[in-house]
Amino acid sequence: MHTKKRYTAFQMAVWTRFETLLFLLIIVAWVTAYFFLDLSWLKIPWTPLALIGTAVAFVIGFQNNAAYGRIWEARKIWGGIVNTSRTLGMYLQDMITNEHAISPLKEEELSKEIKTLTYRHIAWMTALRHAMRASKPWETTSNHRTNREWNMHPPEKESVVEEDIKSYISDSDHAYTMSKNNKQTALLYLQSHHLKALKEKGLIWEFAFLQLEGVLEEHFTLQGKSERIKNFPYPRHFATLNHFFMWIFVLLLPLALVPQFAEIGLEITNQNSFIGTYFIWLTIPFYVIVAWIFHTMERIGRTGENPFEGTANDVPISTIARGIEIDLRQNLGESLNEIPEQFPVRNDTQF
């Protein structure tokens, strides 16, 4: 456990190393100029800076709470998809029978109908996760150089929805689905039409049909909630101004911090001239710590704004969808050799 904590701390340090280096350069330049050029007149009082820092802290806290709320809601939505998917798999296997059939089917034919519906549901999840991974103009976290150098991208960036759903549905269903803008909605319509056809043949009892349609309705609800988070960003005026406010505070901070350490150094000079003379250089580590904390908290909020973008802190919808597929296909009686493996974990991150 302690090793894991140290590794996480190391990852955080690496994740923010470019900004940390920038803060170091800023404060070294300020201290050097103050020490060698006698800029004791260039300073601001702590009161306005403290007010700015307090405001920035409040806004960052608000942003982080809102971002966490979006992440947690997204996780609950996909948790609901897990539950309703398992329920659908159970209903399909137990409710499609010859009990009320007008023309009873063979067991192989019943199994084929169940498999078709189950596979179409897997295609729906595949189309939905592809839609959630589609790039939006306000999703910029994945473009950060740390994400690029760590190869932090989801499986949907390596394939296209057209190919990924092809193996789960018939050619006619595939052509119909690909002709629609909202492919996941098209697949749910096909599911409903298929269930209706089975009900008319008596292969699904009336009450069982209503139960299955209720599950499809829940899928529509969960899909809509997921699309709402994807298509409605965290308000940009909050996100943008918060970023600017943080940088204003970070850039103004040396104007108050450097003179403060210089004054403390003058007081120490009477007791120890060497320490007093160079005490101003202690501004460097303290400034870097303060600036790093404010910036990192603001950046954490930005990375959590879009929980489906596909970065390290997002909801692992690819892993969730593939896990559901594995469960459903195992319950159809398929062997592990026939079922695709779970998506790999990269850099301790599930996608």
DSSP 35-58: HHHT-TT----HHHHHHHHHHHHH
Beta bridge partners of 349: 346
Examine residue 198 and state whether it is found in any structural domain, yes or no: yes
**Residue 308: which residues within 8 A CB-CB, separation 6 or more?**
74, 132, 133, 226, 229, 230, 314, 315, 317
Examine residue 260 and state whether it is found in any structural domain, yes or no: no
Q: What is the pTM of this model?
A: 0.87
Q: Output the tens digit of pLDDT for each of the chain's 351 residues.
A: 334 444 466 777 777 888 999 999 999 999 999 888 877 778 888 889 999 999 999 988 888 898 999 999 999 999 999 999 999 999 999 999 998 888 898 999 999 999 999 999 999 999 999 999 998 888 877 777 777 777 777 889 889 999 999 999 999 999 999 999 999 999 999 999 999 999 999 999 999 999 999 999 999 999 999 999 999 988 877 778 888 999 999 999 999 999 999 888 888 888 888 888 889 999 999 999 999 999 988 888 888 888 998 887 889 999 999 999 999 999 999 998 999 999 988 877 788
Are 246 and 56 contacting, i.e. CB atoms less than 8 angstroms apart? yes
Examine residue 58 and state whether it is found in any structural domain, yes or no: no
Unique residue bearing structure tokens 């403390």: 264
> In total, how many domains does the chain have?
1
Are 310 and 132 contacting, i.e. CB atoms less than 8 angstroms apart? no
15, 56, 87, 311, 342 from 244: Cα distances, Å: 21, 10, 48, 23, 41
Examine residue 245 and state whether it is found in any structural domain, yes or no: no
64, 109, 174, 214 from 113: Cα distances, Å: 47, 6, 17, 19
Examine residue 45 and state whether it is found in any structural domain, yes or no: no
Examine residue 301 and state whether it is found in any structural domain, yes or no: no
Examine residue 15 and state whether it is found in any structural domain, yes or no: no
Say how many CA atoms lie within 13 Å of 311 toward its Cβ.
Answer: 23
Within the chain, how many helices (H) and strands (E) appear? 13, 0
Examine residue 151 and state whether it is found in any structural domain, yes or no: yes
Question: Which structural domain range is residue 156 located in?
Answer: 77-234+316-351
